[in-house]
Amino acid sequence: MRSYLLLSGILFSVIAIVQALRLAQGWTVVIAGWNAPMAVSIVAVVITAGLAIWAFRLLGGQRAP
């Protein structure tokens, strides 16, 4: 379980950082011809950062086997 929480925390952190960079740099994202608005990245940062924090908090509360 510790490995899963660590991997999840790292993965969600990376996604949150990339989305925050998109906001800061103004990168455009086109998905099948649809331009994703910046609001999508704002929501993505909030959700993925929350999931990363949650995973790391759960990881910190576990005892080593």
Query: What local confidence, expressed as pLDDT, does residue 17 receive?
Result: 97
Asked whether residue 28 is domain-assigned, the answer is yes
Largest CA distance in the chain: 50
Structural domains counted in the chain = 1
Asked whether residue 65 is domain-assigned, the answer is no
pTM, to two decimals: 0.85
Asked whether residue 43 is domain-assigned, the answer is yes
Q: How many residues does the chain have?
A: 65
pLDDT tens digits, 7-32: 999 999 999 999 999 999 999 999 99
Asked whether residue 19 is domain-assigned, the answer is yes
User: Phi and psi (nearest 5°) for 29?
Assistant: -125, 125
Query: What local confidence, expressed as pLDDT, does residue 1 receive?
Result: 86
pLDDT tens digits, 49-64: 999 999 999 998 876 6
CA 49 remoteness from chain centre: 5
Asked whether residue 27 is domain-assigned, the answer is yes
Query: What local confidence, expressed as pLDDT, does residue 65 receive?
Result: 60
